Amino acid sequence: MQKETRGMTAGVAVFALTLPARRYAVMYLDPVFVGFGRKIPVSTLSSALLDNRSP
């Protein structure tokens, strides 16, 4: 599997898994905080997988 595909797949999977938790979190936290809380881990994981390439 290509590294780009692996990074995108991991990002989409992690982002999709956070959706059920978002429904509960928005009741108690600011929606902007919850939105960034979903995006930052996904982008970090995807970046790490994409950057992990051999020279």
What 8-state DSSP symbol labels residue 55? -
Structure tokens at 19: 């959706």
Q: In angstroms, rounded to a whole number, what is the distance separating the alpha carbons of residues 30 and 28?
A: 7
Domain ranges of the chain: 3-51
Which secondary-structure segment (H or E) carries 2? none
Quick: pLDDT tens for 1-53: 666 677 677 777 777 777 777 788 888 888 888 888 878 877 787 777 777 66
Query: What pLDDT is recorded for position 39?
Result: 80
Instruction: Give the contacts of 42 (CB within 8 A, at least 6 positions apart).
Output: 11, 14, 15, 18
Query: What pLDDT is recorded for position 36?
Result: 84
Query: What pLDDT is recorded for position 8?
Result: 73
Q: Quick check: 53 and 14 in contact, CB under 8 A?
A: no
Q: How many CA atoms lie within 13 A of 4 on its CB side?
A: 0
